[in-house]
Structure 1
Amino acid sequence: MEVGDALERARRLADLNAVVTLNDKAEVEARAAERRGLRPVPIAVKDIIYTKGLRTTMGSRLFKDYVPTYDASVVARLKRAGLIIIGKTNTHEFASGATTTSSVFGPTRNPLDKERIAGGSSGGSAAAVAAGIVDVAIGTDTAGSVRIPASLCGVIGFRPSSGSTPKRGVFPLSPTFDEVGILASSIDAVEEVFKVIAGRKGRRAEARRQLRLGVPEGLIMAERDVERAFYDIVTRLNASSVKMPLTEGRGREAFTVIRLSEASAVHLPFKDVWGEYFPDVRRLIERGLTYRAVDYVGALEVMRRAREEFMKVMRDLEALLLPSTAVPAPRIDEVLGREDGPIRDLLTGNSWLAPLVGAPAISLPLMRVGGLPVGLQVIGKPGQDLELIDVARALLNAV
């Protein structure tokens, strides 16, 4: 894909609200990359990741005119490798939502049905890939913000292992769980861009013929049609049921305490202007203030024990399988004003396990429900990101 073509498509598909700020220097930067002997590849970057000289709003009224003076570390790595940022993609305000409807730019629309949400908070990045504006885009994933929109838009969404990518220049949400991730139309693009942003090297492994896969039955959230589609794949893959009693009983609450407490701490310096935040974002930040220090410390201990339990389960497995979301993409009019209501649980109900245990996870567009995509989520072992990508490649070939 040429940089000029990506810019033209972004302009033509502006009604999706996927790319919200175009880089008018992108073609100049592409020619400069060619002079360095690099093949310029267009890429879009989520609007909470700093880009020098290019507006970065965090989807918020507070930063609607903010232009960073430096590149985030992941952006600097992309540029050095010849990837050309064609623009910034829409995000739920401060990445604190699963719908990408609470944004200073308005909702991002799903390219598969413009009356439906793209998911969030990396909804603009997912929509840009699904619409063919770019083949690959960068997002962030704290509680599913890459995997959720990937599921709803029918693209691949990869969250690396915790700590795999540098966070300098990425506006934080919950530092314990924040991770820079990738949305793409192909697994090869995921692998190549991951190697760039994580500073990894290595050849691709051979596709696996047999996989040992598990299904954490006690952690699955899915509406009936999604559950039926999920177990159809599980049966074909001969996946076995696994149990994680501690995580099933206490994991999600521990995740919530840590995620919301840390978000409140991040936003305390802005407390005087919380009235400018979107209501759902403000409510989540205020919820974090209701937890005590002892709650936070206790949640950290549950997280430690959940990670031990996860590693025991994974000793004989390559990956766990879950639906990426419990539902296909809801309609925008069903979500507006209710972003932190029941729809939030349906979208995030299967996405908290990977960050809690520090594991890499990838959403693959392998299910259809009512004519709409739903992702199959594949969770690997912490630190084995390239191995998980190999597993995902094998599943894409097998299912």
Structure 2
Amino acid sequence: MTKREFWRRFGAHLDPILLLAISLLMLTSLVVLYSAGDGSWHRVFSQLGNIVVAFALMWAVANMPLHYLMRAAVPLYLLGMLLLLGVALFGEISHGARRWLNLGVATIQPSELMKIGVPLMMAWYFDKYEATLTMKTYAIAALLLLLPVGLIAKQPDLGTAILIAASGFYVLFLAGLSWRVIGGMVIAGAASAPFLWGMLHDYQKHRIMMLLDPTKDALGKGYHTIQGMIAVGSGGLFGKGYLNGTQTHLNFLPESHTDFIFAVYSEEFGLFGNLLLLSMYLFVILRGFVITANASTYFTRLMAGSVTLTFFTYAFVNMGMVSGILPVVGVPLPLVSYGGTSMLTLLLGFGILMSVHTHQKLVKT
């Protein structure tokens, strides 16, 4: 079998441009994890296993015809809601949060399923009522979004709730929600801030207060923010060199292989390394926008746009919280932080993007 025949058989529905960009980010993950683990190969090989499994899922979804994705929207959303209700009633409590559901054969975190389930359901809903969009349509779509976000925020899992809320909002925006309504939502959100503040847990309030002045509790609630800013700032222009980050290797930096891996990277590769990393993220996002612009149907355009903008939100929130401009909410750096669940969710989204790109070309021809 020649290379051309192999690609035609197994890679026909993989977008080579997007595949190259995300592969570079995953390679960066393996390199930085080796340093974050003090030269240990354990997490590197574990992450490599996560990548292989996630890549297989991406390939399967990329080869899935688009009408199968539409058929999966309602069952996936209903299953996710059922599992979230199961978490609320019977979920396991760990570290003060009820996020996991024991199914006997496995323990799962249903909120991860809704990162794809919510925008998929909303895109299906808007596609169904494309010809008759009214404010009632947008209101029902907003309710489809608020129900799972409310259940997830109550667990509490603020980071995941923010990501799902963002993915759903992007569908609303791309579906044509007027700027006047968006402005009204912003004003209403600002007006309800005191009420929302009272609903937050104490640790969530502390995180927001520490954003304003982390030095008030430098060894407690503000520790993560301070150490992240020190690591990012101490990298300078060119960094301290690979495996030479003092904040990381002297164990000052918390969660160095997950939420704060950007601080590890920044300390060792500096400003120019960060510019290179940002360029890779920007390339993925721009490619996603190109696929969105060329999508052949209303459903695929909404779904592709939501996946792309949610990926941007992942990166922006993580870099913002590590740099001290956003509260610490437990959002990983996409495709770089250690973790199988996040990798699976992200590559599932990229599989959808690739399916939108390749199958829409088949439709046009």
- After TM superposition, the score normalised by the length of structure 2 is 0.26
Larger Rg: 2
Structure with greater strand share of residues? 1
Structure with greater helix share of residues? 2
